[in-house]
Amino acid sequence: MKKLILSSTILLLLIACKKPTPAKAVSVLQTVEFKVFQAADYSAPVYNGVEAEVRLAVSKQLSNNSQMVLWDTLIPYQLLRAYPLMQTPLFISKKFEIVRDSEKLRFGKVIRYRDALNRISLNATGEDIPASVTNKLIQVDL
CATH number of 27-141: 2.60.40
Considering the entire predicted model, what is its pTM?
0.77
In the chain, where are the structural domains located? Answer: 27-141
Per-residue confidence (pLDDT) for residue 20, from 0 to 100:
62
CB under 8 Å to 88, separation ≥6 — which residues? 37
- The residue that leads in pLDDT, 10 or 138, is 138
Per-residue confidence (pLDDT) for residue 122, from 0 to 100:
95
CA dist., res. 128 & res. 137, Å (int): 13
CA dist., res. 51 & res. 118, Å (int): 10
Average pLDDT for residues 14-33, to the nearest whole number?
73
pLDDT mean across residues, the chain: 86
CA dist., res. 105 & res. 109, Å (int): 14
